[in-house]
Amino acid sequence: MKTQLIIAILLLFAVPIMAQDDMMDLFAEEEPTADYTFATFKATKVVIGQSVENPGNGSLVFVIQHHFGRVNTGIEEFFGLDQATTRLGFEYGVNDWLALGLGRSMIEKTYDGSVKAKILRQQTGKRNIPISLSYFGSIAIQSMPWPEPERTNYFSSRISYANQLLIARKFSRAFSLQLIPTHIHRNLVEKKTDDNDVFSLGAGGRLKLSNRISLNAEYHYLLSQQTAEDFHNSFSVGIDIETGGHVFQLFATNSQGIIAQQFIARTDGDWLNGDIHIGFNISRSFQLKKKKQPKD
């Protein structure tokens, strides 16, 4: 009799506890989570311009950007391979949403610093956000000797700025698209009729061809009329190849310049005339900060 009484008491307490666990599991299952979109692009560049991607948290990316000369220079210049412009740069992921960059390019011996900040991330689940949105800003300083050293020259005349919004959407595993409205300000221009402020609207896309190869394209339409009269819209097309710890980008472009202040505002090459530059980007990533291990 005593044994039956003890069993009955234990069952009386066990049933509410089991029911409470079932209710907690039910609420836990109903709790939505954020499902973020990853790898909208495979590198921090679409082709030669910025993509919405940042280096990972604590990741240092070493970037080599190389543009050969124009193909239409012929065999004497080995179809542009005898000429080249290069930029060496570093990009560092401060955290999950902020990245800093520093680089130096051969054109006008230009140093540049940049910041890229994620504002929105494409996601489903807890929140439905259809796009990723980032801000990119850079400052560039030319270090070439003054062409007329006898006149009064100001350091501020060496400086130019670029501001961009990167608006991207990954439509599927194979296709991503990005819009790139851009504002560029140059403290000093060559002619009085040149625009100090240049506006453009760019677009870039990625089409995945295989697990490691994609086809990318990028176009920047000049909205500033005075600039458009003297220069051409920048157009670039290329392929991305993933090879372990780095991404190799091979492309063709009508732009010799490498940073936005150069290739958006001052592209003088014309695709129809054969003013095409073969180029490549190599991005190598180094993890400087230990990744957090998931909690049990």
Mean pLDDT, consecutive 10-residue stretches, the chain (296 aa), reads: 48 45 52 86 96 95 95 87 93 96 96 98 92 98 90 92 98 97 94 88 96 96 85 96 86 96 94 94 89 55
Structural domain of 24: 1-31
17/134 same-domain check: no
pLDDT the model gives residue 97 = 95
- Are residues 207 and 175 in contact, defined by beta-carbon separation less than 8 angstroms? yes
pLDDT the model gives residue 30 = 61
pLDDT the model gives residue 25 = 55
Q: Which two tokens stand for residue 64?
A: 């080599």
Residue 292: inside a domain = no
- Are residues 232 and 27 in contact, defined by beta-carbon separation less than 8 angstroms? no
pLDDT the model gives residue 132 = 97
148/268 same-domain check: yes
pLDDT the model gives residue 19 = 46
DSSP state of 149: T
25/122 same-domain check: no
217/152 same-domain check: yes
Q: Which residues contact 254 (CB under 8 A, 6 or more apart)?
A: 232, 234, 235, 236, 267, 269, 270, 271, 275, 276, 277
136/167 same-domain check: yes
Residue 294: inside a domain = no
- Are residues 197 and 184 in contact, defined by beta-carbon separation less than 8 angstroms? yes
Q: Give the closest residue to 214 by CA, choosing from 173, 259, 255.
A: 173
Residue in this structure with the two tokens 């506890």, named with its chain if needed:
17
What is the number of domains present in the chain?
A: 2
